[in-house]
Amino acid sequence: MRKKFFKVQIIGLIVLSTTLAMVSSASALALVKPGTKAKINNSTQELAGTAGYEAANKDTALFLVQTAINIFLSLIGVLLLVLILYAGYNWLTARGEEEKVTKAKDTLKRAITGIIIIIAAYAISVFVMGKIEQGTLKGGRGGVGGYTQP
């Protein structure tokens, strides 16, 4: 019972610290002087042009959605990594007890399956957002059956 409570406290602490880090970084960005953001964007555009790249427009809703998806999937990925480490620790400390070894193996299998799902979700989100951006922001013509509106 005490061990479960300790695990819940650790997970709660991780979630709380992650949330606080996200909130503090968002509030730090909100406190930036109004002209600073424009200067940073102009410098980025100049640097990208000099290097021969096209800088992405970071003021679009599409960029914000993709960033939110990436943050969410990254947090889940980190939690799954912690779960893999936890399962490995349990396996190492099982001392030959079959029940603990089996539980650790099951946890490890589930965490690896979760990571595979997260990687697939990331790939799908990048693909879909890229197609949406190509069709909406870059002047692509979407349509059904080859019909496009003038």
Q: What is the pLDDT of residues 43-101, one digit of tens each?
A: 777 777 777 766 666 666 777 788 888 888 888 988 999 999 999 999 999 988 999 99
pLDDT of residue 127: 87
The verdict on residue 8 lying in a domain is no
The verdict on residue 83 lying in a domain is yes
The verdict on residue 51 lying in a domain is no
What is the span of the domain harbouring residue 68? 57-136
At residue 20, what is the residue type? L
The verdict on residue 86 lying in a domain is yes
The verdict on residue 1 lying in a domain is no
pLDDT of residue 104: 93
The verdict on residue 88 lying in a domain is yes
Domains in the chain: how many in total? 1
The residue among 17, 124, 113, 16 whose CA lies nearest residue 70 is: 124
CA gap 111, 24 in Å, rounded: 29
144 - beta bridge partners? Answer: 147
The verdict on residue 71 lying in a domain is yes
pLDDT of residue 147: 43
Non-local (6+) Cβ contacts of 122 within 8 A are 69, 70, 73
The verdict on residue 145 lying in a domain is no
